[in-house]
Amino acid sequence: MTAPALILASASPRRRELLARLGVEPAQIAPADIDEDPLDQELPRDYARRMGREKALAAASAKGHVLAGDTVVAAGRRILPKAEDEATARKCLQLLSGRRHRVLSSVALLAPDGTLREKLNETIVKFKRLSDQEIAGYLASGEWDGKAGGYAIQGAAEGLIVSIQGSHSSVMGLPLFETRALLKSAGFLVG
């Protein structure tokens, strides 16, 4: 019996790296192009789930299973943007400075027959109180570019984090425990 093909609905090198930790190599990369704007009054948890689901559906294929995910940084009920410019990254870091926030990572696996399996991970992250110099130094690194909440935990920002309660891989962009469970249920992983 041949193993089912896995299509990753993401161009993120981090997601490919994290999948490799599970011993999984996608047969194809097919980034989903969808509108990622939150709906009016949409809560962070609902938004994260919807994004994972919509990305999987947008990349649907009869050639294999589609794995999609999304990572959302939330301060209370507020969904922080993916930082596309330095001013946005600065605002995010100033908001997160000295406080706890949630990182919600959804993962969805869509089978060729339309069966959709979904999981969500919630991790709590707390930054130290950041000085203006620390923020400026982090911004100069450029790591914030395109990152939810304006930071990448797998880089220099990790040295600014006081605590993390939950999944480090989830904050990086793909919750491995949940992803492993979905892949195992679909026959991609044994044992």
DSSP 127-158: EPPPPHHHHHHHHHH-TTTT-BTT--TTTGGG
Residue at 118: amino acid letter:
E
CA-to-CA dists, residue 98 to 123, 164, 166, 187, angstroms: 17, 13, 18, 43
**Active site residue ranges:** 70
Burial 86-121 (b: 16+ CB within 10 A, else e): eebbbebbebbbeeebbbbbbbbbbeeeeeebbbbb
Q: Which of 127, 124, 123, 138 is nearest to 162 (CA)?
A: 127
Q: Which of 111, 95, 10 is nearest to 51 (CA)?
A: 10
